[in-house]
């Protein structure tokens, strides 16, 4: 299996530190608003990566942090005249709702920054002891000049960075690139006791402290949006490696930007969409398919046209899945078991996903499979239901469990028979008459039509009864 490592800028063989375990850390949301569709792309693609590793038999521990103390949260709380705790817990709830609606698998742990303050203080103390941090009147900064390989992830060198740095007017810092590890309390801000006085942690230290706590000093995969490479991930490396003196991350994985109609998404341009706005218009499966159809690392253009086309793609999968469920419920036994090389599709799927999670190609394999299956179904009558079991297994293992673009468990609603009992009884009578008149073609047609609506007929000596399928 190959994975593109931002750190080396090459595709590398994937060899986790402690197989079959894989540790994966994804930078999570700062909870001061609803997350937008660009964030949703990163979250869904990280989910697909994680699910594929599980498909390969790895035991993945997946951590996503919640930043619940931050400048933006404080600002929002002041604007809305609420407490920071209220703002953070409101948007944390909203985050979980949206993640669930996007059918993203729950992380092993969602650590909250405010519950890891003592761990952060320990890391800062260690950095200070080793000479990488300095305290100026209760503000503690990381001394970038002490970490000789600073810039190794982003490929930036400190001299260029210093000359181009957007210098905060902060005369306490020795160097414009130095960043805050601990911020001295300001009036009406949340704060915690520390060896440097009351204050709160900087953003970057959260991820270093929480990944160490939940995944250990060295982790296999650290993921996040492209925009986090610098300075966030660069600073995480500087903190963790200075503190623990070992390699922090084996593979760095970064997700590309999402543009709206070829423009950068921004509130001022009026082209800013939250994930929940998009989820009100399109199904989660269609949105996931739309994301999966572009390589995770490249830019992605978002438009209603493209979403509509993904929705149509999803309906193709759904149509076949519904057909499969009906046929499995009918449980037909017959000699007709068409030759269908499902193994070939498994191996194609695995081959492309093994190549740095090539999800666009993986989706293409699934659509090839659907075309081939539909052709066989159209060309054969009375196929044994074992054939449909094989189709279902493939779609469950790939389209459902890895890409999350179909959910068989949800089909019950989609398939609830949309026909009332009176109409069914009427059709049964019509079919009885047809059978008496030896018009078996019509009788079969009625049976098939009902079956397509989720109504199964059962003939016996005393007459015909029916059942509505509740699919699960
Ligand atoms: Zn982070």
User: Do 66 and 91 form a contact (C-beta atoms < 8 A)?
Assistant: no
| Domain identity same for 425 and 403 | no
Q: Is 109 contained in some domain?
A: yes
Domain range for 101: 2-278
Query: Which long-range contacts does 83-88 make (Cβ < 8 Å, 24+ apart)?
Result: 84/189, 84/190, 85/190, 87/31, 87/32, 88/31, 88/32, 88/114
| Domain identity same for 96 and 159 | yes
Question: What DSSP letter does each residue of 197-223 carry, written as one string?
Answer: -SEEE-HHHHHHHHHHHHH-SSEEEEE
For residue 168, the model assigns a pLDDT of 57
142 C-alpha vs ligand 1 centroid, how far in Å? Answer: 16
| Domain identity same for 399 and 364 | yes
Mean pLDDT, to the nearest integer, of 351-355? Answer: 98
Q: Is 227 contained in some domain?
A: yes
360 C-alpha vs ligand 1 centroid, how far in Å? Answer: 27
Q: How confident is the model over 217-250, as pLDDT tens digits?
A: 999 999 999 999 999 999 999 999 999 999 999 9
pLDDT band at 418 (very low <50, low <70, confident <90, very high): low
| Domain identity same for 364 and 264 | no
For residue 472, the model assigns a pLDDT of 37
Residue 139 is inside which H or E element, if any? strand 139-142
Q: Which tokens is 127 given?
A: 């950095």
420 C-alpha vs ligand 1 centroid, how far in Å? Answer: 54
DSSP 3-state of 394: helix
In the predicted structure, residue 170 carries a pLDDT above the cut 70 = no
Mean pLDDT, to the nearest integer, of 271-299? Answer: 95
101 C-alpha vs ligand 1 centroid, how far in Å? Answer: 24
- Cis-peptide into 20, omega within 30 deg: yes
Q: Is 91 contained in some domain?
A: yes
> Which residue from 342, 354, 362, 298 is spatially nearest to 53, judged by alpha carbons?
354
User: How many Cβ atoms are within 10 Å of 377's Cβ, its own excluded?
Assistant: 18
157 C-alpha vs ligand 1 centroid, how far in Å? Answer: 21
Q: How confident is the model over 45-89, as pLDDT tens digits?
A: 999 999 999 999 999 999 999 999 999 999 999 999 999 999 999
| Domain identity same for 431 and 366 | no
pLDDT band at 376 (very low <50, low <70, confident <90, very high): very high
> Which residue from 257, 287, 265 is spatially nearest to 101, judged by alpha carbons?
287
CATH number of the domain that residue 160 is part of: 3.40.50.620
65 C-alpha vs ligand 1 centroid, how far in Å? Answer: 8
222 C-alpha vs ligand 1 centroid, how far in Å? Answer: 9
| Domain identity same for 233 and 328 | no
pLDDT band at 453 (very low <50, low <70, confident <90, very high): confident
Q: Which tokens is 305 given?
A: 């046209």
Q: Which tokens is 197 given?
A: 């006085």
Partners of residue 10 on adjacent β-strands: 5
Domain boundary among 234, 260, 278: 278
Q: Which stretch of 181-185, 211-215, 374-378, 414-418 has the lowest confidence by average pLDDT?
A: 414-418
Question: What DSSP letter does each residue of 231-284 carry, written as one string?
Answer: IIIHHHHHHHHHHH-S--EEEEEEE--EEETTEE--TTTT---BHHHHHHHS-H
Q: Which stretch of 71-75, 196-200, 410-414, 444-448 has the lowest confidence by average pLDDT?
A: 410-414
219 C-alpha vs ligand 1 centroid, how far in Å? Answer: 13
Mean pLDDT, to the nearest integer, of 12-30? Answer: 97
| Domain identity same for 273 and 311 | no
Q: Is 167 contained in some domain?
A: yes
| Domain identity same for 357 and 448 | no
Q: Is 359 contained in some domain?
A: yes
User: Do 64 and 107 form a contact (C-beta atoms < 8 A)?
Assistant: yes
| Domain identity same for 403 and 443 | no
Q: Give the Cα separation of 362 and 52 in Å (integer).
A: 11
Q: Is 384 contained in some domain?
A: yes
Torsion of CA 48, 50, 53, 55, to 10 degrees: -60
User: How many Cβ atoms are within 10 Å of 425's Cβ, its own excluded?
Assistant: 12
343 C-alpha vs ligand 1 centroid, how far in Å? Answer: 40
For residue 161, the model assigns a pLDDT of 77
In terms of residues, how long is the chain?
472
| Domain identity same for 157 and 231 | yes
pLDDT band at 164 (very low <50, low <70, confident <90, very high): low
Q: What percent of the chain has pLDDT over 90?
A: 80
Q: Which stretch of 143-147, 433-437, 445-449 has the lowest confidence by average pLDDT?
A: 445-449
Q: Which stretch of 200-214, 293-307, 447-461 has the lowest confidence by average pLDDT?
A: 447-461
Q: How confident is the model over 95-147, as pLDDT tens digits?
A: 999 999 999 999 999 999 999 999 999 999 999 999 999 999 999 999 999 99
Q: Which residues have beta carbons under 5 A from ligand 1 (an ion)?
A: 27, 207
Count the domains in the chain. Answer: 3
For residue 471, the model assigns a pLDDT of 42
62 C-alpha vs ligand 1 centroid, how far in Å? Answer: 14
236 C-alpha vs ligand 1 centroid, how far in Å? Answer: 7
Q: Is 287 contained in some domain?
A: no
- Higher-confidence residue of 266 and 59: namely 59
123 C-alpha vs ligand 1 centroid, how far in Å? Answer: 15
Domain boundary among 262, 278, 294: 278
| Domain identity same for 396 and 462 | no
132 C-alpha vs ligand 1 centroid, how far in Å? Answer: 20
CATH number of the domain that residue 320 is part of: 1.20.120.640
- Higher-confidence residue of 12 and 461: namely 12
Q: Is 230 contained in some domain?
A: yes
- Average pLDDT across the chain, whole number: 93
Domain boundary among 407, 431, 459: 407
| Domain identity same for 327 and 435 | no
28 C-alpha vs ligand 1 centroid, how far in Å? Answer: 7
Q: Which stretch of 133-142, 321-330, 336-345, 353-362 has the lowest confidence by average pLDDT?
A: 321-330
27 C-alpha vs ligand 1 centroid, how far in Å? Answer: 4
């Amino acid at each position: 299996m190959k994975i593109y490592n931002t750190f080396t800028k090459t595709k590398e063989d994937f060899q986790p530190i402690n197989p079959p375990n894989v540790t994966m850390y994804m930078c999570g949301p700062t909870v001061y608003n609803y997350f937008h569709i660009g964030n949703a792309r990163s979250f869904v693609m990280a989910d697909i990566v994680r699910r594929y590793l599980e498909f390969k038999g790895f035991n993945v521990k997946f951590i996503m942090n919640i930043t619940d103390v931050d400048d933006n949260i404080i600002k929002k709380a002041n604007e809305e005249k609420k407490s920071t705790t209220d703002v953070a817990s409101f948007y944390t709830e909203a985050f979980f709702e949206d993640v669930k609606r996007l059918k993203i698998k729950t992380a092993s742990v969602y650590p909250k920054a405010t519950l890891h303050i003592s761990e952060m203080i320990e890391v800062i103390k260690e950095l200070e002891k080793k000479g990488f941090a300095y305290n100026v009147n209760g503000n503690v900064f990381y001394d970038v000049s002490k970490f000789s390989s600073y810039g190794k992830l982003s490929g930036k060198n400190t001299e260029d960075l210093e000359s181009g740095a957007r210098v905060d007017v902060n005369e306490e810092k020795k160097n414009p690139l130095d960043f805050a590890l601990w911020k001295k309390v300001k009036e009406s801000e949340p704060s915690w006791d520390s060896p440097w006085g009351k204050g709160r942690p900087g953003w970057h230290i959260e991820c270093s402290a929480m990944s160490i706590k939940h995944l250990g000093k060295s982790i296999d995969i650290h993921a996040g949006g492209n925009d986090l490479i610098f300075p966030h991930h660069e600073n995480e490396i500087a903190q963790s490696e200075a503190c623990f003196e070992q390699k922090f991350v084996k593979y760095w994985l970064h997700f590309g930007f999402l543009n709206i109609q070829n423009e950068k998404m921004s509130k001022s341009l009026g082209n800013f969409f939250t994930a929940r706005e998009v989820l009100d218009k399109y199904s989660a499966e269609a949105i996931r398919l739309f994301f999966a159809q572009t390589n995770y690392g490249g830019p992605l253009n978002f438009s209603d046209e493209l979403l509509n086309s993904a929705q149509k793609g999803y309906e193709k999968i759904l149509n076949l899945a519904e057909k499969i469920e009906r046929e499995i419920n009918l449980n037909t036994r017959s000699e007709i078991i068409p030759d269908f090389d499902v193994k070939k599709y498994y191996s194609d799927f695995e081959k492309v996903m093994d190549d740095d999670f090539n999800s666009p190609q993986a989706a293409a394999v699934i659509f090839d499979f659907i075309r081939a299956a539909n052709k066989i179904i159209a060309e054969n009558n009375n196929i044994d239901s074992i054939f449909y079991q094989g189709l279902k297994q493939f779609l469950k293992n790939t389209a459902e469990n890895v890409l999350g673009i179909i959910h068989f468990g949800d089909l019950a609603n989609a398939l609830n028979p949309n026909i009332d009992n009176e109409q069914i009884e009427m059709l049964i009578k019509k079919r009885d008459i047809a059978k008496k008149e030896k018009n078996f073609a019509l009788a079969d047609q009625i049976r098939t039509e009902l079956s397509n609506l989720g109504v199964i007929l059962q003939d016996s000596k005393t007459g015909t009864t029916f059942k509505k399928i509740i699919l699960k």
